[in-house]
A and B are shown apart, each in its own frame.
Chain A
Amino acid sequence: MNVLEDKLRTALRETGEEIVPHSVPPLRLDRARHVRLPRALGSHRSAGWLGPLAAAAAVAAVIIAATAVSGTIGSGRRPLGTSAALGGLPRYYVALRFSRHNTCCLPDQPLLPRTHAVVVDTATGAVLASVGPPPGDTFVGVTGAADDRTFVLGAQKYGTLSPTRFYLLRIGPEAATGSFLPTIAPTPASSRGPATPSASPSPRGSATPSASPSPRGSASPSPSGSVSPSASPSPRGSATPSASPSPRGSATLSASPSPRSPASPGPRGHWTRLSPLPIPPDMTELVNFALSPDGTSLAVLDISALRVFSLVTGAQRIWDRPSQCFGGVALGGANTDAMLSWAADSRHLATACNGGPPGVGGVWLLYTAVPGNSLTKGRLLVPGPPVAPNGQPPWNRVLLTADGRTVVGVLQVHNPHRPATLGPLQELAEFSAHTGKLLRLLNRMPVWNHVDFEQVLWASPSGKSLLVSDTKPYAGHRRAFFLLNDAGVLTGGRFTPLPHWPLNTLAAAW
């Protein structure tokens, strides 16, 4: 073989390997009628009899996808210069993952997958702790404070569109060497009665759960009875807990030794805890929620209003969203509109009025320390852009950097010259929070399946490093939700994937 042939083989092989096995989509025979391909391929000749068979094919597609997912969970990928590139990231993140991936997507099955939350070491991808939602519930979203230890999870009844309850997940302050005790799961809503405040301000002003762990790692019930202390460390000290309903209906945990977290829990061991938050569960069409950097406030966005709850006092403030703003997509998958971003002072909050008219549409900054009434009483940081002719709102992600200078956004852009069959385009862009002008266009990509938008999960204080992810529709026939397909740090045009990012991740927060 000569040099040219050798180069050719190498180039072909490497180009082919850009397609990784887990990215293969399931076979969808019903696509014959929708696929964006030239007519020469006969897509418009598909017969009517294909429809009934498509349902059966979708079942097979789910099985294939399930196989693909299960085959890649935990297999991980080779990180590229991970340690250096990930140096600025918070140490832990909490991700929502699902395990029963074959029960989510058939037409007669529930809207949301059944999820559990995992605490993950960012640098290694190791799962340090795992917790299930209260019995009958599923987690639908997660957000984190800036201290790297405080997270809030939202949970809804599995299989129905129900009010969202919020739970505080707190990683113990001793988490420094990699060991975790089992997570304490909350009691179910039915046995809990009215929401009871269980968080109290810490000396540093952040909310902490009302119950504390015993020296041996198990917890005592709080006075309100909101914590079910049934977990205990394994004899070898490490644990990978999993939640299961007890006969009395409260969530209990069974801990099993995990080779990934071989450490001995003890008085100085790590612990995580899940406690219900004192937020009335009266919102059904939730779009997004975000915990303030100091962990004292939770902003909750539904289709009509923005509410900010104090986790210290339980008080709430409400801002109406103008009716011209696009309502948003209900929680429950990675494609959720992520339209809330706190400033570093935990008082200012950026959010978007998506698709509103000039002067109303755009990214707004609210001062939440004083009562407000309308979103437009704030300051318009980045105006527009207008709604595209296809009716889709432009903003799909809004993130204000900690230095307050930059708004990072993922926008759907319209190009009148682009054939509609090719689908829309999306841009990852940075705007000046002072002038509203475009600072940098980081990438421009097609939008897969018209709904697969890039996500920005975290930004360094200056916005120089972004933790980004693309989303991927999970196999579904009439029901589909979106996974965070791949995640990594984008710095100076270089993308460094996070290690061991599995394909069953719906949401993650740092």
Chain B
Amino acid sequence: MTELYAAHALGMIRLAHIMLGDQQGAEDVVQEAFCGLYRRWSSVSDPERAVHYVRSAVLNGCRSVLRRRISSQASHDLLGEQPVVISAESAVLTSEERRAVMAALRRLPSRQREALVLRYYLDLSAEEAGATMGISPSSVRSATHRALASLGRMLQENS
């Protein structure tokens, strides 16, 4: 278990960070995913399966956090709360283009966003991405296709 964490925690946190844009949230999601794995260790002790399990759990966790964040943000907006300010250093270090791409990515529906991240960040095949997302490979391909089209449109509108 600890070996698995040592080997995959960084990659999982990075994956969650991409999905959430928030390191603390990403770390929490990954911790919880490994806790979930720990609870099910007897049934998923095969390392290969365990990695798949954790990756799926991380994506599920990110989905939940994003859902919660959206509803929470909506109520905050009604109440006039200011969102958390990004620290000055991270703002400076983020290039404009990258920021635009990531902003557009985060506007995509969750399935399309996940498909893009799994295909273009983790370089998973459609079959592997489908297994992680719990959908068929053809659905992954079509989600990816639509996502790229949407992303291109959004970036063009912004430029």
Query: Which of A's residues lie within 8 Å of B, judged by CB?
Result: 4-5, 7-19, 21, 23-25, 27-29, 31-32, 35-38, 40-43, 46-47, 50, 57, 60-61, 63-64, 67, 415, 417-419, 425, 441-446, 448, 488, 490, 493-495
Nearest residue (CB) in A for B123 is A9
Find chain B residues with CB under 8 A from A16 CB: 14-15, 17-18, 121
Is B143 located at the chain interface by the 8 A CB criterion? no
Given contacts A5-B148, A41-B57, 10 further A-B contacts (CB under 8 A): A4-B152, A12-B120, A15-B17, A16-B14, A18-B90, A24-B10, A417-B81, A443-B85, A446-B24, A493-B89
Partner of B64, one of A41, A47, A60, A444: A41
Chain A residues, CB < 8 A from B105: 8, 11-12
Q: Kindly identify, within residues 1 to 39 of chain B, every residue whose CB is under 8 Å from any CB belonging to chain A.
A: 1-2, 5-6, 9-10, 13-15, 17-18, 21, 23-24, 26-29, 31-32, 34-36, 38-39
Q: Closest Cβ of chain B: how far from A485's Cβ, in Å?
A: 12
Tell me whether A9 and B121 are in contact in the complex, defined as CB-CB below 8 angstroms, given that A15-B17, A15-B18, A494-B89 are known contacts: yes
A495 touches B24 (CB 8 A): no
Which of chain B's residues have a CB closer than 8 A to the CB of A7?
A: 97, 101, 155
Query: If the complex has contacts A15-B102, A36-B28, A42-B36, are A490 and B6 also in contact, measured as CB distance less than 8 A?
Result: no
Cβ-closest chain B residue relative to A491: B88
19 residue pairs bridging A and B, Cβ less than 8 Å apart: A8-B105, A8-B148, A11-B97, A14-B98, A15-B21, A16-B15, A16-B121, A21-B10, A23-B23, A27-B34, A37-B64, A37-B65, A38-B65, A38-B68, A42-B39, A50-B38, A418-B76, A446-B84, A495-B87
Report, nearest first, the 10 A-B pairs whose CB atoms are least far apart: A495-B89, A16-B14, A11-B101, A32-B35, A12-B121, A60-B2, A493-B88, A444-B85, A27-B5, A38-B64
Question: Please, how many residues of chain B have a CB less than 8 angstroms from a CB on the other chain?
Answer: 60
Q: Which residues of B contact A417 (CB under 8 A)?
A: 75-76, 79, 81
B30-70 contact mask (Cβ, 8 Å, vs A): 1 or 0: 01101110110000000000000000010011001101100
B72 close to chain A: CB less than 8 A: yes
Is B116 interfacial (CB 8 A cutoff)? yes
Q: Please report the C-alpha to C-alpha distance between residue A375 and residue B97 in the assembled complex, in whole angstroms.
A: 53
Q: B126-159, CB under 8 A of A: which get 1 and which 0?
A: 0000000000000000000000100110010000
Say if the beta carbon of B91 comes within 8 Å of chain A. yes
| Complex contacts, B85 vs chain A, CB 8 Å | 441, 443-445
User: Of B57, B88, B101, B152, which one neighbours A495 at CB under 8 angstroms?
Assistant: B88
Chain B residues near A443: list those with CB within 8 A.
Answer: 85, 87-88
What residue of chain B has the Cβ atom nearest to residue A444's Cβ?
A: B85
Please classify the interface of chain B as helix (H, G, I), strand (E, B), loop, or mixed, using the class held by over half of its residues: helix
Chain A's nearest CB lies how many Å from the CB of B109?
16
Residue of B34, B36, B88, B91 ringed by the most chain A CB atoms within 10 A: B88
Contacts of B57 in A (CB 8 A): 41
From A6, which residue of chain B is reached at the shortest CB distance? B120
* A12, B9: Cβ atoms closer than 8 Å: no
Nearest chain A residue, comparing its CB with the CB of B147: A8
Q: How far is the CA of A10 from the CA of B88 in the complex (A)?
A: 22
How far does the alpha carbon of A27 sit from the alpha carbon of B29 in the complex, in Å? 12
Nearest A-chain residue to B13, judged by Cβ: A19
Closest B-chain residue to A7, C-beta based?
A: B101
| Cross-chain contact A493 with B39 (CB below 8 angstroms) | no
Write the chain B residue with the least CB distance to A489: B89
Task: A22 to B34: give the CA distance in the assembly, Å.
Answer: 19
Cβ-defined partner of A8 (8 Å) among B35, B76, B93, B151:
B151
The answer to whether B64 and A18 have CB atoms under 8 Å apart is no
Interfacial chain B residues near A63, Cβ < 8 Å? 2
Contacts of B89 in A (CB 8 A): 488, 490, 493-495
Task: Find out whether the CB atom of A31 lies under 8 angstroms from the CB atom of B87.
Answer: no
Q: Are B117 and A12 in contact (CB under 8 A)?
A: yes
The interface residues of chain A lying within 8 Å CB-to-CB of B36 are 41-42
Whether the pair B98, A490 counts as a contact (CB closer than 8 A) is: no
Chain A residues lying within 8 Å of B60, measured Cβ to Cβ, are 40-41
Q: Which residues of B contact A41 (CB under 8 A)?
A: 32, 36, 57, 60-61, 64
Question: Which of A8, A42, A444 is the most central at the interface, judged by chain B CB atoms within 10 Å of its CB?
Answer: A8
**A490 and B28 alpha carbons, distance in the complex (Å):** 28
Bound form: Cα–Cα A385–B17 in Å: 34
- Whether the pair B35, A35 counts as a contact (CB closer than 8 A) is yes
Interchain CB contact under 8 A, A490 and B88 = yes
Given A4-B155, A445-B87, decide whether A64 and B6 contact each other with a Cβ distance below 8 A: yes
Which residues of the partner chain A approach B31 to less than 8 Å between Cβ atoms? 25, 27-28, 31, 35
Kindly provide the distance from the CB of B98 to the nearest chain A CB, expressed in whole angstroms: 4
- When chains A and B are docked, how far (Å) is the Cα of A40 from the Cα of B33? 12
User: What is the bound-complex CA distance between A27 and B38, given in angstroms?
Assistant: 11
